[in-house]
A and B are shown apart, each in its own frame.
Chain A
Amino acid sequence: MSLAPDSRVRRALGSDHLAGWMFVAPAVVLIGIFGLVPIAWSAIMSFQANDLVSAPSWVGLANYQALAKDPAFIASVRHTLVYTALFVPLSVAGSLLVAWALNRKLRGVRFYRLAVFVPVITSTVATGIIFLWLLDPVFGLVNYLLSLVGLPEQGFLQDTNQALLCIVVMTVWGWLGFDVIIYLAALQGIPQELMEAAQIDGAGKWSSFRNVVLPFLRPATLFLVVWSTISALQLFDEIYVTTRGGPLGATTVIVYYLYQQAFQFFNAGYGAAIAYVLFMAILVITIIQLKVGGRGVYGKS
């Protein structure tokens, strides 16, 4: 991917130092002030003790050392990883199945596609509130439906063992449609000849799916896995709206812990350190995913 326009363009338009800088100036100023400066400032803040009101003081690596031993932080990391490990496969594999189902001539396929996509339109706050009501242990619809088939009442968001799982279900519900659209677009890019050639060769439905369709979907899958993972690691809104990190901290994830530290207890330096740890984690995980998944995408095997 070349960064400079090709030589023909260059010749045509001349050298544009002043013009170039004029064009990018507003973006540079805005992104500089609200992007680059905060990134650097946050790094500095992570080495300070800062309560957002009085002058900060230097503490060196103390914040990071405290994080490494902080049981609440370690728990939040664990919760985040568990959530991510459940959310990503469920939403990516689930959406592939749904997209596969929707990619055919069916009566009402338009309606199905709309139904799948509507949850994406609802905001995270609305989703949280609606699911709080659905999953209410005493008066919620879901426990009522369970009772109809003879299953006992569940604590759901009030049960320390089930709360995180409920968040997984809630967020998969909310984001499935997004993934489905991506996969639908990718599926529609598969040349018909490939599918027919596979079937003529006598391949069954499953093996033609595995050998023809899946490899073709690799870029879309990679994108969705990376995107879903990054989103999952940054989970916050639904936690705030439903459980506030409870019950008993069972749903406290990294970003929620950051919020508590920085804006409820006013340990901004500690919060900045948490943010940088999260950043590093996202970077590392994304790089690994791209390396593992990126093989054979742009170089045809």
Chain B
Amino acid sequence: MDNGLLIRPDRPLDLEAVPERRPRHWPFSPWHFFLIPLALMMLLPLIWSVITSLETSSEAQRFPPVLIPSALHFSNYLDAWNSLPFGHFFLNSFLYSAATVAGNLLFCSLAAYAFARLRFIGSNLLFVLLLVTLMVPFQVVLIPTFLIVRNLGLVDSVGGLIVPNLCGVFGIFLLRQFFQSLPVELEEAARIDGASRLGVFFKIVLPLSAPVLATLAIIQFMWSWNDFLWPLIIITTPQHAPLQLGLSMFQGTHVTNWNLLMAGTVMSQIPMLAVFLFAQRWFIQSIAYTGIKQ
């Protein structure tokens, strides 16, 4: 069945998959000559920032650069943490991400199911309108959204971050496509048995959709966690700032030192890196899946 996809939703991207090759002449592949420098270039900036984060301020500005710090000054991390409310930064980011993930999972799936399975007056027009909003870049809605959030009294609060992002059009499209690919017989059977539409949705469809829901959750989480422009506009004090905005506030101080700044930067990336390492498969599946689905 050719539905225009390059991968099927049921066959995940295989990190280990490699095509078979003819036997080589060399004991190792010449590709290593390309891949090793590449990997180095990809990792060097992060490694260097960690090294700098463990130096003293004067070591960081020595020339030639100090490649191995005299001692591991983990106190930099403590100093960075204390200089700005990093605890608030992490908490605000977590609230923002968790709430938008929950909102998207619930509201997008409800709407997507309606578009996929229900026939109702105005559904076509509504769908087209949603398509239109998908095409419009965020900068167009930025200023009016700021004014609306202001009228709601949510400026400089985590609520102001969350509310405009509770339901995104992307999620509706993603889930709708998935729901349409599910076999309809299960739902039919349940309806015949007397289940309500909502019951069918929650008891039959959602459980079958775990992979794509996880995908949406991950993508939304990453997006909210790394969001910068909207928080920049709506948040004015450090107590309410999420992580990336807080990091840029930290950067904006005049008495900042490179070693402290690197410590703050590294600290701010650890949660996402940890989640990634823990759930690599999910991350990579999500991206592969959404990329191919266009």
- A: residues with CB less than 8 A from B are 3-5, 8-10, 12-13, 15-21, 23-24, 26-28, 30-31, 33-39, 41-42, 45, 52, 98, 101-107, 109-119, 121-127, 129-131, 133-134, 138-139, 141, 144, 173, 176-178, 181-182, 184-186, 188-189, 192, 195, 219-220, 223-224, 226-227, 230, 233-234, 236-237, 240-241, 255, 258-259, 262-263, 268, 271-272, 274-276, 278-279, 282-283, 286, 298
B 214-255 binary contact with A (CB < 8 Å = 1; else 0):
000000000001101100110000000001110110010000
The stretch that binds A, out of B70-78, B79-87, B137-145, is: B137-145
Complex CA–CA separation, A119 to B42 (angstroms): 7
Query: B172 touches which one: A27, A34, A255 (CB < 8 A)?
Result: A27
- Residues of the B chain whose Cβ atoms lie less than 8 Å from the Cβ of A112: 35, 38-39
Given A19-B197, A234-B138, is A126 in contact with B4 using a C-beta cutoff of 8 Å?
no
Is there an interface contact between B13 and A42, defined as CB atoms closer than 8 Å?
A: no
Are the C-beta atoms of A109 and B18 separated by less than 8 Å? yes
**B140 and A133 form a contact (CB under 8 A):** no
Beta-carbon contact of B118 and A106 below 8 Å: no
Q: Are B110 and A19 in contact (CB under 8 A)?
A: no
Considering the complex, give the chain B residue whose CB is closest to the CB of A169: B41
A152 and B50 alpha carbons, distance in the complex (Å): 27
Determine the distance from Cα of A193 to Cα of B160 in the docked complex, in whole angstroms. Answer: 54
3 closest A-B pairs by CB = A20-B120, A38-B141, A23-B114
Contact B287 A178 (CB under 8 A): yes
Q: What are 23 pairs between A and B in contact, CB < 8 Å?
A: A4-B124, A13-B191, A20-B118, A30-B166, A36-B129, A103-B19, A104-B18, A104-B21, A118-B46, A121-B272, A125-B244, A133-B49, A133-B52, A173-B41, A181-B13, A181-B288, A182-B287, A185-B292, A186-B292, A189-B6, A219-B292, A227-B291, A240-B248
Chain A residues whose CB sits within 8 angstroms of the CB of B166 once the complex forms: 30
In the assembled complex, which residues on chain B have CB atoms less than 8 Å from the CB atom of A224? 291
Q: Which of B63, B116, B144, B146 contacts A5 (CB 8 A)?
A: B116
5 additional contacts (CB under 8 A) given A185-B13, A282-B137: A35-B133, A115-B42, A123-B225, A220-B291, A233-B137
Contact B110 A9 (CB under 8 A): no
Residues of B within 8 A of A39 (CB): 132-133, 136, 140-141
Interface check B28, CB cutoff 8 A: yes
Q: Give Cα A187–Cα B133 distance, bound, in whole angstroms.
A: 32
Contacts of B265 in A (CB 8 A): 126, 129-130
Which residues on the A side are within 8 Å of B226 (C-beta)?
A: 123-125
Taking a contact as CB atoms closer than 8 A, the residue among A8, A24, A184, A276 that contacts B288 in the complex is: A184
Q: Given A12-B188, A38-B145, A275-B137, are A106 and B107 neighbors across the interface (CB < 8 Å)?
A: no
| Given A112-B35, A276-B140, A130 and B248 contact (CB-CB distance below 8 Å) | no
Cα–Cα distance between A109 and B21 once the two chains are bound (Å): 15
How many residues from B make CB contacts under 8 Å with A? 116
Residues B269 and A185 in contact, CB atoms below 8 Å apart: no
- Which residues of the partner chain A approach B244 to less than 8 Å between Cβ atoms? 123-126
A38 to B150, CA, bound (A): 13
Task: Give the contacting residue for A105; candidates B21, B141, B229; CB below 8 A.
Answer: B21
Contact present for A110 and B172 (CB under 8 Å): no
- CB-CB nearest in chain A for B124: A3
User: Which of B18, B120, B148 has the most chain A CB atoms closer than 10 A to its own CB?
Assistant: B120
**Selected contact of A139 from candidates B63, B243, B269, B276, CB within 8 Å:** B63
Q: Which of B236-289 contact A (CB under 8 A)?
A: 243-245, 247-248, 251, 258, 261-262, 265, 268-269, 272-273, 276, 280, 283-284, 287-288
B12-46 interface bits toward A, Cβ cutoff 8 Å, 1 = contact, 0 = none = 01111111110000001101101100110111011
CB contacts (< 8 Å) of A119 on chain B: these are 42, 45-46
For A259, list chain B residues within 8 Å (CB). 229
B152 to chain A, nearest CB (A): 9
User: In the complex, which residues of chain A have a beta carbon less than 8 angstroms from the beta carbon of B38?
Assistant: 98, 101, 112, 115-116
Asked if A19 contacts B120 (CB within 8 A), the reply is: yes
